């Protein structure tokens, strides 16, 4: 399998993770003009599962180092299997809430708040489990990201009054999503032998196998979680499975593309964690709110018409995010 051999490459992969995690929401925005997010989410989940299978049989089976995908899948302990699977279930619940938040409040609000909270809590959880990197530099970087989250929330309060009702509901969903999302990464990481990817311990998984099991957990739980959301939506009328199967082909492909983009970022995060450490790999990837905020502010014009002062707060948010990410990178040197 493909293994990262140096910290510099690990950082590059983590930045790609950040770009992917911060950009997949654009596909939801594209589909959202004609396609409910509950229906979009089915294709998104299918995209994640398909990508995990392809990745396992390519990079996960490439070369002579480590165990190949199928061999590794057959030998994993059940406790580790269920740990990665549980990570998928937790992520799925949190991400559906995040998708609802995007639908209600927009990318520039949902991602910085939801994913930002997930980053702060997730770094703490992952660092306690596997301490790697300078803690002072790492947590100062995380603190700057936390400041960026607060500033973004202030800016979100300056959107036009007509959008405040759904925006407030979207903000609440983003907070809940962030708390849940902070937990999923650790469950998957617990199934992987990051200390010895070249010769993983028996019963533990490679990142490729763990990611596949994680994707299966997302897909399986979606039959329960998303069905409930379809019948009891956060906004609008209930939506049926008939609507999904009568959707246009191009709408389905947009959702699958969104899933593939997110899956690429997540897979690279776990692959890089062997050299960067789970806490730093997770933290860098969770710089995604800055990317999402960029899309929301400059491309989708979500803050157009906002009250005076919004642009200043958004500028401060970007500065804090960039400074925080820089310190997180330095923490691993």
Q: CA distances (Å), 246 to each of 199, 232, 240, in order?
A: 48, 21, 10
Summarize pLDDT for 38-51 with one digit per residue, the tens: 999 999 999 999 99
Q: Answer yes or no: is 152 within a domain.
A: yes
The count of domains in the chain is 1
Q: Answer yes or no: is 4 within a domain.
A: no
Q: Answer yes or no: is 257 within a domain.
A: yes
Q: Answer yes or no: is 10 within a domain.
A: no
pTM of the model: 0.84
Q: Answer yes or no: is 321 within a domain.
A: yes
DSSP label at 200?
P
Q: Answer yes or no: is 8 within a domain.
A: no
Q: Answer yes or no: is 243 within a domain.
A: yes
State the DSSP H helix or E strand holding residue 108, giving kind and residue range, or none if neither.
helix 107-129
Report the alpha-carbon distance of residue 285 to residue 282 in Å, rounded: 5
Report the alpha-carbon distance of residue 125 to residue 186 in Å, rounded: 7
Tell me the average pLDDT across 295-319.
79
Summarize pLDDT for 160-169 with one digit per residue, the tens: 644 445 567 8
Domain residues for 232?
Answer: 16-331
Q: Answer yes or no: is 155 within a domain.
A: yes
Q: Which of 30-34, 66-70, 133-137, 209-213 has the lowest mean pLDDT?
A: 30-34
Contacts 24+ apart (CB under 8 A), 302-309: 302/106, 302/107, 302/108, 302/109, 302/159, 303/108, 303/155, 303/158, 303/159, 305/159, 305/160, 306/155, 306/158, 306/159, 306/160, 307/158, 307/159, 308/158, 309/158
Report the alpha-carbon distance of residue 67 to residue 167 in Å, rounded: 47
Summarize pLDDT for 121-152 with one digit per residue, the tens: 888 888 888 787 889 998 998 889 888 877 87
Q: CA distances (Å), 169 to each of 111, 166, 189, 198, 289, in order?
A: 14, 5, 32, 47, 19
**Mean of pLDDT over the chain:** 86
pLDDT for the residue numbered 81: 97
């Amino acid at each position: 399998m493909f293994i990262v051999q140096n910290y510099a490459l690990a950082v590059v992969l983590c930045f790609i993770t950040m770009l992917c995690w911060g950009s997949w929401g654009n596909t939801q925005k594209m589909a959202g003009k004609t396609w409910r997010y509950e229906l979009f989410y089915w294709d998104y989940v299918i995209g994640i599962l398909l990508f995990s299978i392809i990745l396992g049989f390519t990079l996960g089976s490439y070369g002579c180092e480590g165990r190949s995908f199928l061999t590794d899948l057959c030998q994993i302990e059940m406790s580790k299997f269920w740990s990665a699977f549980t990570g998928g279930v937790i992520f799925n619940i949190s991400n559906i809430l995040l998708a609802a938040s995007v639908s209600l409040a927009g990318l520039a609000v949902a991602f910085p708040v939801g994913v930002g909270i997930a980053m702060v809590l997730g770094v703490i959880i992952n660092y306690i489990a596997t301490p790697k990197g300078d803690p002072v530099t790492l947590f100062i970087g995380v603190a700057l990201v936390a400041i960026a989250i607060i500033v973004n929330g202030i800016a979100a309060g300056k959107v036009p009054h007509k959008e405040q009702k759904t925006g407030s509901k979207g903000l609440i969903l983003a907070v809940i999503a962030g708390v849940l999302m902070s937990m999923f990464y650790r469950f998957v990481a617990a199934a992987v032998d990051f200390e010895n990817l070249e010769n993983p311990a028996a019963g533990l998984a490679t990142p490729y196998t763990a990611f596949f099991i994680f994707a299966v957990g997302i897909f399986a739980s979606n039959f329960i979680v998303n069905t409930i959301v379809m019948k009891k939506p956060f906004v609008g009328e209930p939506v049926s499975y008939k609507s999904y199967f009568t959707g246009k082909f191009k709408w389905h492909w947009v959702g699958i593309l969104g899933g593939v983009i997110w899956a690429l970022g997540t897979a690279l995060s776990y692959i890089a964690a062997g050299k960067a450490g789970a806490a730093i790999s997770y933290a860098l990837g969770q710089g995604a709110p800055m990317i999402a905020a960029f899309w929301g502010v400059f491309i989708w014009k979500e803050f157009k018409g906002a009250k005076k002062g919004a642009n200043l707060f958004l500028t401060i948010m970007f500065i804090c995010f960039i400074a925080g990410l820089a310190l997180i990178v330095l923490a691993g040197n």
